[in-house]
Amino acid sequence: MLRPFKLHEPTSVDDAVSLLGRFGEEAKVYCGGTELLLAMKEGLLRYNHLVNIKTIPGLDEVGYDQGSGMLSIGATVTHTALEHSPQIQSHFPMIAEAEGNVANVRVRNVGTIGGNLCFSEPHSDPGAFLLLFDTQVEIQGPGGQRTIPLAELTLGPFETCLEDDEVLTRILVPQFPQGMTGAYLKFGYHARPTLGVGVSVRVEPTTSDGEHIERAVVTEVRVAVGSAGPKAVRVAEAEQLLMGKTVAELLPGSNGGESSNMNEASRLAGRAADAMDDIHGSGEYKEHMIGVFLKRAFAKAVNTRQPTVQSPLS
Amino acid sequence: MTTTVGKPVPRIDALDKVTGRAAYVGDLEIPGMVHGLILRSPWPHARVLSIDSTEAERLPGVLGVLTRDHLEGIDAYFGSVVRDRPIVAMDKVRYQGEPVAAVAARDLATAQEALELIRVEYEELPLVSEMEEALVPGSPALHETNLCAEQHYDWGDVEEGFAQSDRVFEDTFTFPMVYHYALEPHTSIGHYTNQGITVWSTAQHPFLVRSDLARMFGFSLHQVRIIVPYLGGGFGSKSYTKMEPLAVALSKVAGRPVRLALSVEEAFKTVRRHAARLTVKTGVKLDGTFVARECLIYLDTGAYADNGPLVAGRAGERIAGPYRWPSLKVSSSAVYTNSTPAGSFRSIGAPQAAWASESQVDIIAHDLGIDPLEIRIKNMVSRGEEVRRGQRPLEGDPATGLRLAAEAVGWDDEAAEESGRAVSSALVTGKGLGCNLSGVGSSPTSTALVRMHVDGTLTVLVGTTELGQGSRSAMAQVASEELTVPMDSVDVISSDTSIVPYDRSTGSSRSTTLMGLAVQDGAIEVKDQLLELAALHFESPVEELSIEEGQVLCRGESIGFGELIQEEFGGVAGELMGRGYVTPRSHGGRLAQSPVFWEVGISAAEVELDVETGAIRIPHYVSVADVGKAINPQQCEGQDEGAAMQGLGHTLFEEMLYEDGQLLNPNLIDYKVPTFAELPDKLETILIENGDGPGPFGSKGLGEGGIVAAGPAVANAIFRATGVRIKELPLTPERVWRALRRARGQD
């Protein structure tokens, strides 16, 4: 049962920060509440004060700078708004698609990107797919503003580096390098994802099509895994194994073959996820599945640039 | 002339339900009502050393606290078969979540605060999580013994049967603990006074709850009133008595009506389906003829018996399937463990039994090189044949139903191939069948009252609980049909034990058949009275009269029903009453033999399996229900589809998980129930209508059959796709992946 609490509705980030400073551990930012209120109803968390930042003007805006290719997402933008944002749909189609698959429609309509990242529920998508970009987050506290990489925000399950009196205000997502495309795939049958794997890749020559894509060489690749372990991570060791290889070398499945590099990258990605045994399944199964989904996400990312090519694994 | 029966007329509660107007127990406000909350045991097995509720009682706004020390004058124990469940814990607690105390307060926040002021001292006891350990001599005992009940079915000599068999198969299967997940958790408002008890409750069997409360609180039946408004899904979870005694006892200490509305988590800790371990040994001839079967069934009934002994009995009966057995020997036991009590759940014991029986039929068919469809048809009982010794012969024709299901799913297309087809490097497909037969209807004990008002409209009074199955509409259709009045001239009042006449229960697919007959009888009695009045009016013998569209006709003249009533009573006044009695002796005694009828459960599934992940998708699923006559075809399909989806739930992912006696997933985030996303691409229900049912217009019930054979149909399809046999449910991706890996020798 939800216990009584006082709801504060500041109209500026500064006011929110000072309220948080005043109440300390008794207060928490409310930014959608799809996770927070559930936990409070269950008695797992208790706060006497909630500071609603959804009422702060400007935090619900999405901006895209054509020149720098930088996407700026306010903390209180809902998943639904991200899914339907014309700027995101045209410049970050992978984010629009992934946001459209977050949780369910009720959560997407109320839940926000900032709330999602700050709650740090490990079984969650945005924290993983945003790692495919060099995403930064802006944080405001009593001493002013700081900007840190998204990878440094989450420390572990339900734990961030935010101080009690700090507010995450904005997420900054730079465009992929020219020619890079991405895919994020998730798996699970529970309400929350069991695992998620994101891959973004750039191959050269960029103009190749049809069967020529098989001969294209991977010149840049990013791998991110989430949900399976305590927090989402980039897997640099897996990326290195895929670099410089041709698509045909990495995806020989159509000829019944296996790629030792892809298999090794899959294994490393599985290990890097630090998968836990839980109600979703064993860590062993999740490690295996991350490998399967790394191949599939890689194939999807490659094919996203060349929709005419059907990958054997798609 | 047919007016409504056999047509998909809109259900009479549709508008109220889709607009949110329909009132459920949780919507009711009773004058003076206060709110109750339950303190539940954190331990799965512990002695309750002391309970101190004095601080809670002193908290302003608290009207009463109920503990074992507040039960004076109350017989605290109840249970549909064994009275082993106390209102609140007495000497010890037997499962995590068992009610230990309860508080009534002016609001929920105060009640919550008071709960935290109750001091309970426990002494932990060793716990029993598994049935196997529960039955080992010397293991911790929940009750006097951990064996709750043991049932036996024997005919013929199985040892001789096995000796005569060419091949003997023995396999062991397990079935998970699952929860009903009715949308509406259990909710009761209890109001105790010295003159009697009124309870508004989510009860499928209000008259049985009335009996229990009368006994426990020392009243006679006329002093106990159970009112059941709309019910948000039952599936057996609200059968018999559940939270009502606690609500009434709490009202007694509080001196006020007390509302007790459980959360989903609490509902998980109220009742569940039995987990099972089933060993089936079957002897067959090389041509596929079944010769003998011996079964050993263990059902995990949790901390209290609830309906466990009956479930064990039914599982034992149902594991024979729809087949001829020259000899059969079954032992079926319910075993206590420290977990949520298990009771009735849609087709009790049958999904567990069919899971084992129907999986093994495919194992046998494969081994003998016989088509799974043909081996079933070859051994299947036919119409008129005795199904179980001493029981009613089969009135239906399951072989035809099974052929229809197989045909619908394209069985013949696949028959040429022994195993499944590879769709791509990772996807394979296969088709599977499953079927079972359940004796249903409970007992033929239902009564109804049909009132015709002076304007010719009807009020039908029944004790059937409208729990979403559409009983109000079906009863209205029967009355409307029999008296030739339109549907909108009929209202159905259900489930107020002080107003509507007696009904045994709403369950076991019985209501349309048995209550339907009672309503039909009541309508016929009204019709007979109308004809008597019309005979006076027309001065004509009854034989020359007929009725049509609310009129009595005689030699080209007509008179409305209402006018006839007015003629009798004088002025715009009066009414006619028709009674319907369904008893073992009524209807020439034709309902007396058990079961009332046989309900088939027939499923055919096409399954697509991702061999890299173990994930299953179901492109096509077919369920067949033999309904005799569909009173409302749309509602029949809805019931059957719902049952099929619930069956796919326990087949694919539903499972209550315990660790050290603690339930890990009592919520819908961690306990997966099917959603629209899990609907098969094509979900089909086929209704068989041969007019051979014992109910009105040749109907017989449905609603349970569709859940029964989902598990084996899917697992049999996986086997045909991969050659891998899985004997545990649910078929989660990881379980399937592990089975595939084991088969490849990589584990």
Q: Is the pLDDT of residue A253 over 90?
A: no
Residues of chain B contacting residue A282, judged by C-beta atoms under 8 Å apart: 734
pLDDT of residue B508: 95
What element of type H or E holds A153?
helix A150-153
Indicate whether A150 belongs to any domain.
Answer: yes
**A153 and A195 together in one domain:** no
**A170 and A202 together in one domain:** no
pLDDT of residue A312: 38
Q: Do B652 and A189 touch (CB under 8 A)?
A: yes
Q: Find the CATH number of the domain harbouring A215.
A: 3.30.390.50
Question: pLDDT-derived band of residue A310, with 50, 70 and 90 as boundaries?
Answer: very low
Q: Strands, E, within A66-132: which ranges? A: 70-74
By the CB < 8 Å criterion, does B665 face chain A? yes
CA B323, B326, B331 angle in degrees (round to 5)? 80
By the CB < 8 Å criterion, does B617 face chain A? no
SS3 B108: helix
Ranges under pLDDT 70 in chain B: 1-2, 414-424, 747
Tokens read off for A281: 């399944």
- Domain of residue A78 covers 62-174
Q: Which residues on chain A place their C-beta less than 8 Å from a C-beta of chain B?
A: 1, 3-4, 187, 189-192, 253, 279, 281-282, 285, 288-289, 292, 312-313
Helices (H), B539-632: 561-569
Chain B's closest residue to A253, CA to CA, is B425
Tokens read off for B14: 């549709």
Q: Find the CATH number of the domain harbouring A89.
A: 3.30.465.10
Distance from CA of B672 to the nearest CA of A (A): 6
Distance from CA of B263 to the nearest CA of A (A): 9
Q: What is the pLDDT of residues B405-432, one digit of tens each?
A: 999 999 987 655 545 566 667 999 999 9
Contact A157, A121 (CB under 8 A): yes
Indicate whether A44 belongs to any domain.
Answer: yes
By the CB < 8 Å criterion, does B268 face chain A? no
By the 10 Å C-beta count (0-12 exposed, 13-18 middle, 19+ buried), A220 is classed as: middle
Query: Domains of chain B, with CATH numbers?
Result: 25-125+183-233+237-268 (3.90.1170.50), 275-441+595-743 (3.30.365.10), 443-589 (3.30.365.10)
Distance from CA of A2 to the nearest CA of B (A): 8
Q: Do A285 and B737 touch (CB under 8 A)?
A: yes
Q: Strands, E, within A131-237: which ranges? A: 136-141, 144-149, 154-156, 159-160, 167-174, 181-187, 195-204, 217-226, 233-234
Cα A188 from Cα A180, distance rounded (Å): 27
Distance of CA B629 to the CA centre of its chain: 21
The partner residue sitting opposite B665, judged by closest CB among A192, A279, A292, is A279
**A161 and A236 together in one domain:** no
pLDDT of residue A303: 87
Chain A's closest residue to B678, CA to CA, is A189
The partner residue sitting opposite B672, judged by closest CB among A187, A189, A282, is A189
Q: Give the phi and the psi of residue B685 in degrees, each rounded to 5.
A: -120, 130
What element of type H or E holds A91?
helix A86-91
Distance from CA of A12 to the nearest CA of B (A): 33
Q: Do B668 and A191 touch (CB under 8 A)?
A: yes
Residues of chain B contacting residue A4, judged by C-beta atoms under 8 Å apart: 109
Q: Do B615 and A187 touch (CB under 8 A)?
A: yes
Tell me the residues of chain B between 415 and 434 that have a Cβ less than 8 Å away from chain A: 424-426
Q: Do B669 and A281 touch (CB under 8 A)?
A: no
**A222 and A284 together in one domain:** yes
Mutate one of A262, A276, A285, A295 to test the B interface: name it (highest B CB count within 10 A): A285
Q: What is the pLDDT of residues A2-23, one digit of tens each?
A: 889 999 999 999 999 999 999 9
For the stretch A61-67, contacts whose Cβ atoms lie closer than 8 Å and that sit 24 or more positions apart, written own/partner, are A62/A87, A62/A88, A63/A87, A64/A88, A64/A91
Q: Do B665 and A192 touch (CB under 8 A)?
A: no
Indicate whether A149 belongs to any domain.
Answer: yes
**A66 and A92 together in one domain:** yes
Q: What is the pLDDT of residues A83-107, one digit of tens each?
A: 999 999 999 999 999 999 999 999 9
pLDDT of residue A55: 94
Indicate whether A310 belongs to any domain.
Answer: no
Distance from CA of B669 to the nearest CA of A (A): 5
Pairing of strands B421-422, B147-155: unpaired
Cα A26 from Cα A32, distance rounded (Å): 18
The partner residue sitting opposite B613, judged by closest CB among A1, A190, A292, is A292
Residues of chain B contacting residue A124, judged by C-beta atoms under 8 Å apart: none
Q: Give the phi and the psi of residue B522 in degrees, each rounded to 5.
A: -60, -40
- Tell me the CA distances in angstroms from A253 to A121, A262, A309, B190, one per residue in order: 35, 11, 14, 66
Distance from CA of B155 to the nearest CA of A (A): 44
Q: What is the pLDDT of residues A123-164, one digit of tens each?
A: 999 999 999 999 999 999 999 999 999 999 999 999 999 999
Q: Do A312 and B424 touch (CB under 8 A)?
A: yes
Indicate whether A314 belongs to any domain.
Answer: no
Cα B484 from Cα B459, distance rounded (Å): 14
By the CB < 8 Å criterion, does B679 face chain A? no
Q: Do A190 and B670 touch (CB under 8 A)?
A: yes
Q: What is the pLDDT of residues A170-186, one digit of tens each?
A: 999 999 999 999 999 99
Chain B's closest residue to A292, CA to CA, is B612
Contact B520, B454 (CB under 8 A): no
Domain ends where: A174, A205, A223? Answer: A174
Mutate one of A44, A279, A284, A300 to test the B interface: name it (highest B CB count within 10 A): A279
Q: Do A292 and B738 touch (CB under 8 A)?
A: no
Chain B's closest residue to A190, CA to CA, is B672
Q: Do A313 and B737 touch (CB under 8 A)?
A: no
**A274 and A219 together in one domain:** yes
pLDDT of residue A257: 78
Residues of chain A contacting residue B652, judged by C-beta atoms under 8 Å apart: 189
ipTM of this predicted complex?
A: 0.94
Q: Do B109 and A279 touch (CB under 8 A)?
A: no
Tell me the residues of chain B between 91 and 150 that have a Cβ less than 8 Å away from chain A: 108-109, 112
Distance from CA of A285 to the nearest CA of B (A): 7
SS (H, E, C) B345-395: CCCCCHHHHHHHHHHHHHHHHHHHCCCHHHHHHHHECCCCCECCCCCCECC
Residues of chain B contacting residue A1, judged by C-beta atoms under 8 Å apart: 37, 108-109, 112
Distance from CA of A169 to the nearest CA of B (A): 29
Helices (H), B116-260: 131-134, 158-164, 206-217, 244-254
**A189 and A136 together in one domain:** no
Residues of chain B contacting residue A39, judged by C-beta atoms under 8 Å apart: none
**A155 and A234 together in one domain:** no
Q: Do B612 and A281 touch (CB under 8 A)?
A: no
Cα B691 from Cα B686, distance rounded (Å): 15
Q: Find the CATH number of the domain harbouring A44.
A: 3.30.43.10
Chain A's closest residue to B737, CA to CA, is A285
Task: State chain B's maximal CA–CA distance in angstroms.
Answer: 90
What element of type H or E holds A284?
helix A283-305
Q: What is the mean pLDDT of chain A?
A: 93
Indicate whether A188 belongs to any domain.
Answer: yes
Q: Do B112 and A1 touch (CB under 8 A)?
A: yes
Cα B626 from Cα B708, distance rounded (Å): 14
Tell me the residues of chain B between 596 and 615 that have a Cβ less than 8 Å away from chain A: 612-613, 615
Indicate whether A234 belongs to any domain.
Answer: yes
Domain ends where: A174, A194, A215? Answer: A174
Q: Do B109 and A281 touch (CB under 8 A)?
A: no
Q: Is the pLDDT of residue A214 over 70?
A: yes
The partner residue sitting opposite A191, judged by closest CB among B112, B669, B733, is B669
Indicate whether A57 belongs to any domain.
Answer: no
Q: Do B424 and A285 touch (CB under 8 A)?
A: no
Domain ends where: A127, A159, A174? Answer: A174
**A244 and A291 together in one domain:** yes
pLDDT of residue B552: 98
Question: pLDDT-derived band of residue A209, with 50, 70 and 90 as boundaries?
Answer: low
Instruction: Please list, in sequence order, all residues whose beta carbon lies within 8 angstroms of the beta carbon of residue B474, skipping any fewer than 6 positions away.
Output: B511, B512, B516, B631, B632, B635
**A232 and A258 together in one domain:** yes
- Count of domains forming chain A: 3
pLDDT of residue B414: 65
**A187 and A299 together in one domain:** yes
**A66 and A164 together in one domain:** yes
Residues of chain A contacting residue B260, judged by C-beta atoms under 8 Å apart: none
By the CB < 8 Å criterion, does B734 face chain A? yes
